[in-house]
Every structure is written in structure tokens, then in C-alpha cells.
């Protein structure tokens, strides 16, 4: 079976270098917010061409702290696309703010910018644009701070292109995937970066002085060291993902694909099918693994449906029909060919 993900392939490649880094950290005695985290922040910002990157403990924390730094407070509203990973909305709820779901563009699966203005109220404080599956979403033109959720889109979006902050996740399966949890806030706004640096350490400004109420959102030195090993090959890996997706699309033009984009980094390569169970079974029968990201829109999630206002039929249609195909950089050429041949033969 060609797997839809296999982290052991990257793990085995990096194990030796990671062992040396772990030994270096253990004997330094500096386990948190030390030289590895400093270096990772510099290197990740440099790779993106960004002014600053602040490392935190997860992508959801990155979103939460970016919003807090931008002044989102309990009771405020934040617009989020109705089709995304749940943590996009969970981060809003963590502040005590209210997520307002807006439908997605049926072609791109990302926030439909034409619907944003109508969902705005006098309590709207931010808009989150999610670059779902690694495809850059359209940034709405609006006088409210935009936060980009680039958890799935390392390298797909230029920094400082009109948004106030970009949040990244380093969850292990992501394009830049950690050996545990991690995230980062990338911003050109020095005030936002400084606020996130305070908020990630309990709102502390000097030893045991806490002007703001916050919690622990620190990244560990071990995580930062692993991510530093993953960064140098990331551009080539993103190209490999895009080339794999291109093979699949060329082999199966009869299928319904997420609309392409020149900067798509293919965290997932996704196709839409009417009868998902049968389609997945037919691929499994010929040795092709698949996954579903995600089976429910936020309007359909048991814990989040309470926030639904307007109907979001396009988000729910994506949730009903999406299928993710094997598209990670360590796939062998033979595996990619096998999947492409299977797709050429399978009907929707």
C-alpha cells in the first residue's frame, strides 16, 4: 500500500544528526528558549524572507497569540473560513472570542473574500485566511487586521503581503514538520512580535514580573534543533510535492481537483468525488492509501455548530467530497508512478 503519510522515512534520514543535536542540548543544560530556538527563529525568518519569527509550542498557540497581540479580546468576533482544521476556530475560542464562519470558494476551498464584508459586524476584530492544503487563499481587501493561517503552507505565501501576522504549525506531518508540537508567529510588526514573545512566557517582561496575564507557550530546544535540520531541504521538498501533484493531475484530468496555484506547496493533494467511500475503496484495492481532510465543515462540528450563522454550503460540499492522495516528499518515483496509474484508471 502506498501510504498517505510515513514520518519514519524522514525520521530515519535525520536520526543521526538529531542524536548529535540532542546530545549537544543535554550537555549544555539549556533546555528552553536557548541558542537552538534563537537560531531556528533567525533561520526560519531568513528562509521566508520575513522580518521576524517567534517560535511557540503549536500552530493553535501561534494563532491565539497573534490574535491576542493584535488586541482580540473576549466577546470580539473573528471571521474564519467554514472549511478548515478545527484549531483555526479553537484558537479564537481560547481567547473567549467568537468565531464567525464564512463560506469558501468552491474552486479553491479557501475563504471566499466576496462574502467577508457581509459577515462583518461592529464587533469584528480580525479575519483569518487559511491557506488550505498549501494553496494560497485570496486575502480580502478590508480595514480589519488579517491573520494568515499558514499551518499547511510553509513557503506558499510571501511574508508581509498585507496581513498583520502569519501563523505556522510544525505538527509532524506538516511540510516543515517537528518531532513533536511547535508553531511560529511571523510578522513585520515589531510590536506584535514583542507581544508574542511576552505572551509565550506567562506575560513576563523581566524576571518574575508579569504585566499581562498569559500562560506557557514555549517551544523546546529539542524541537527547535529538529526543525533546524528540516529547514535546509524544505524548498526542494516543496518542489517535489508540487511535481508529484502535477503527475497525478496530468494522469487524471477527468477528476475534480482543487484549483491550481503557482505557489501551491501541496501539503495535501486533494480531489473531490461524489461517492467518497467507493472511490477510496477502489484505490485501496489497488494499493493506494488515502485520507480525508476534513469530513466535517466547522458548521457541522458538534462542538462548533453553535457558532454557525449563515449557511455554508460550499464548505459542507468540500467536507463531503474531499479525498487526500499520497503526496509527501519521501515517496519514491515508483510509488508516485503507481498512484498516477491508479488515478488514470479510476473514475469518480
Q: 99, 83, 127, 87: which is closest to 297 by C-alpha? A: 83
Residue from 37, 64, 68, 88 touching ligand PLP (CB under 6 A): that is 88
Q: Which residue is nearest to ligand PLP (CB)?
A: 59
**Pick from 54, 59, 77, 166: which binds ligand PLP (CB under 6 A)?**
59
Scan residues 173-212 and list those touching ligand PLP (CB under 6 A): 181, 183
Q: Looking at 64, 84, 189, 324, which residue binds ligand PLP (CB under 6 A)?
A: 84
- Considering the complex, state which of residue 81 and residue 340 has its C-beta at the smaller distance from ligand PLP: 81
Q: Which stretch binds ligand PLP (CB under 6 A): 53-61, 108-116, 156-164, 226-234?
A: 53-61
DSSP 137-200: PPPP--SS-EEEE-TT-TTTS-TTSS-SEEEEE--TTSSS--SS--EEEEES-HHHHHHHHHHT
Our CB check for ligand PLP shows the closer of 171 and 248 to be 171
Exposed e or buried b for every residue in 312-329, given b needs 16+ CB within 10 A? Answer: bebbbbbbbbbbbbbbbb
78 binds ligand PLP, rule: CB under 6 A: no
User: In angstroms, rounded to a whole number, what is the distance separating the alpha carbons of residues 313 and 244?
Assistant: 30
Give, as ranges, the residues between 134 and 163 that touch ligand PLP (CB under 6 A). Answer: 149, 151-152
Cell of 345: 484508471
Which residue of 130, 222, 271, 319 would you call a contact of ligand PLP, by CB under 6 A?
130
Q: Is the CB of residue 92 less than 8 Å from the CB of residue 191? A: no
Task: State the residues that interact with ligand PLP by CB under 6 A.
Answer: 58-60, 84-85, 87-88, 130, 149, 151-152, 169, 171, 181, 183
Amino acid at each position: 500500500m502506498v501510504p498517505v503519510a510515513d514520518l519514519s522515512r524522514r525520521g530515519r534520514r535525520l536520526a543521526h544528526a538529531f542524536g548529535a543535536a540532542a546530545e549537544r542540548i543535554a550537555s549544555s543544560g539549556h533546555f528552553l528558549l536557548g541558542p537552538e530556538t534563537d537560531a531556528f527563529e533567525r533561520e526560519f525568518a531568513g528562509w521566508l524572507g520575513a522580518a521576524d519569527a517567534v517560535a511557540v509550542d503549536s500552530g493553535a498557540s501561534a494563532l491565539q497569540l497573534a490574535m491576542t497581540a493584535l488586541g482580540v479580546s473576549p466577546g470580539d468576533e473573528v471571521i474564519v473560513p467554514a472549511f478548515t482544521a478545527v484549531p483555526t476556530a479553537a484558537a479564537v475560542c481560547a481567547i473567549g472570542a467568537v468565531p464567525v464562519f464564512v463560506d469558501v470558494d468552491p474552486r479553491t476551498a479557501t475563504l471566499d473574500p466576496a462574502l467577508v464584508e457581509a459577515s462583518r459586524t461592529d464587533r469584528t476584530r480580525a479575519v483569518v485566511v487559511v491557506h488550505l492544503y498549501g494553496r494560497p487563499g485570496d486575502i480580502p481587501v478590508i480595514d480589519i487586521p488579517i491573520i494568515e493561517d499558514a499551518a499547511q503552507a510553509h513557503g506558499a505565501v510571501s511574508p508581509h503581503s498585507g496581513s498583520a501576522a502569519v501563523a505556522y504549525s510544525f505538527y509532524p506531518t506538516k511540510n516543515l514538520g517537528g518531532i513533536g508540537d511547535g508553531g511560529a508567529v511571523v510578522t513585520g510588526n515589531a510590536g506584535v512580535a514583542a507581544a508574542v514573545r511576552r505572551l509565550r512566557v506567562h506575560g513576563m517582561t523581566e524576571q518574575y514580573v508579569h504585566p499581562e496575564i498569559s500562560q506557557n507557550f514555549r517551544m523546546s530546544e529539542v524541537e527547535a534543533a529538529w526543525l533546524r535540520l528540516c529547514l535546509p531541504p524544505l524548498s526542494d521538498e516543496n518542489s517535489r510535492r508540487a511535481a508529484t501533484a502535477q503527475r497525478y493531475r496530468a494522469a487524471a484530468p477527468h477528476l475534480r481537483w482543487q484549483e491550481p496555484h503557482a505557489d501551491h506547496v501541496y501539503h495535501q493533494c486533494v480531489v473531490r468525488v461524489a461517492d467518497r467511500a467507493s472511490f477510496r475503496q477502489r484505490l485501496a484495492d489497488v494499493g493506494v492509501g488515502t485520507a480525508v481532510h476534513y469530513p466535517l465543515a466547522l458548521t457541522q462540528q458538534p462542538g462548533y455548530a453553535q457558532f454557525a450563522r449563515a449557511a455554508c454550503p460550499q464548505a459542507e460540499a468540500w467536507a463531503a467530497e474531499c479525498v487526500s492522495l499520497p503526496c509527501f516528499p519521501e515517496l519514491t518515483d515508483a510509488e508516485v508512478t503507481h498512484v498516477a496509474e491508479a488515478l488514470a484508471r479510476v473514475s469518480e
